[in-house]
């Protein structure tokens, strides 16, 4: 079974630029999560989708971050414009349902904002 | 508010030693799940265990064991006869009630196993 795919693996941009990350969850997984992991910290949930609907985006900085999951499969997370403090690893995870099932994580995208 | 505390930021032991990673959590919910994840240098989080709040039985899986104590709000993780491949950052995490699946992670413990 293929795991959660993410691209790109690394991205370096200058502040005020835009960036987008892509995630393809495990086939059949209804729930998709985006996490931000700042160096030395645990992952922090940014947004959770159940199929193509948003379940929780309470910690998403909506003035600059946006995410979508069209058709309830893959998802994109966008930052526009980026700030220095957005430097982090962005992790995507999926689970079969939204009920505290095990979450399967992708390899992450390491973003550096200069 | 829910919170997970991993007071040990870094631990270094010699191979074959036993090591325990501490985790203390706070929640007002009576129903919740606790997790441990491993994050090797490759960066991908690997699920190790999930325990629900009604099951206080300790669990053993090979060299790994977990001690869940509701009375002290702790969910500690022990690696017996550690190996170099166990070197990683380990995260303890807590989920909200069963109706949701948001996971709150601790800050992690970096474990280094020296040959």
Domains and CATH numbers, chain A: 5-113 (2.60.40.10)
Residues of B in contact with A93 (CB under 8 A): 45
Q: Which residue of B has its CA nearest to A57?
A: B102
Locate A15 and state its tokens: 């502040």
Residues of B in contact with A101 (CB under 8 A): 101
Fold for B3-114, please state it: Immunoglobulin-like (2.60.40)
- Band (pLDDT 50/70/90 cuts) for residue A1 is low
How many Å lie between the alpha carbon of B64 and the closest alpha carbon of chain A?
A: 18
Residue A69's contacts (CB-CB under 8 Å, 6 or more residues apart) are A32, A49, A51, A52, A75
Locate A19 and state its tokens: 């960036």
- pLDDT tens, residue by residue, B77-110: 999 999 999 999 999 999 876 555 678 999 999 9
Asked whether the beta carbons of B48 and B93 are under 8 A apart, the reply is no
CA angle B8, B11, B15 (to 5 degrees): 150
Residues of B in contact with A103 (CB under 8 A): 47, 101, 103
Q: What is the CA radius of gyration of chain B?
A: 14
At A98 the pLDDT is 56
Tell which residue, B113, B109, B112, B111, has the closest CA to residue B24: B109
Q: Least CB-CB distance to A98: which of B45, B101, B107?
A: B101
């Amino acid at each position: 079974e293929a795991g959660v795919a993410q691209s790109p693996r690394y991205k370096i941009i200058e502040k005020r630029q835009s960036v987008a990350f892509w995630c393809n969850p495990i086939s059949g997984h209804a729930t998709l999560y985006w996490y931000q992991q700042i160096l030395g910290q645990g992952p922090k949930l940014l947004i959770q989708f159940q199929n193509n609907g948003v379940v929780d985006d309470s910690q998403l900085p909506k003035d600059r971050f946006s995410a979508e999951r069209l058709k309830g499969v893959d998802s994109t997370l966008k930052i526009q414009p980026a700030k220095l403090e957005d430097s982090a690893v962005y992790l995507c995870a999926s689970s079969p349902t939204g009920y505290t099932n095990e979450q399967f994580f992708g390899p992450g995208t390491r973003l550096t904002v200069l | 508010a829910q919170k997970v505390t991993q007071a040990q930021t870094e631990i270094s032991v010699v191979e074959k030693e036993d090591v325990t990673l501490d985790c203390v959590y706070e929640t007002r919910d009576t129903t919740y799940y606790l997790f441990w994840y491993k994050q090797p240098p490759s960066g991908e989080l690997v699920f190790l265990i999930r325990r629900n709040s009604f099951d206080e039985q300790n669990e053993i899986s090979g060299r790994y064991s977990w001690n869940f104590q509701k009375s002290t709000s702790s969910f500690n993780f022990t690696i017996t006869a550690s190996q170099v491949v166990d070197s990683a950052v380990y995260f303890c995490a807590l989920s909200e009630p069963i109706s949701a699946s948001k996971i709150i992670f601790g800050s992690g413990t970096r474990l280094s196993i020296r040959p």
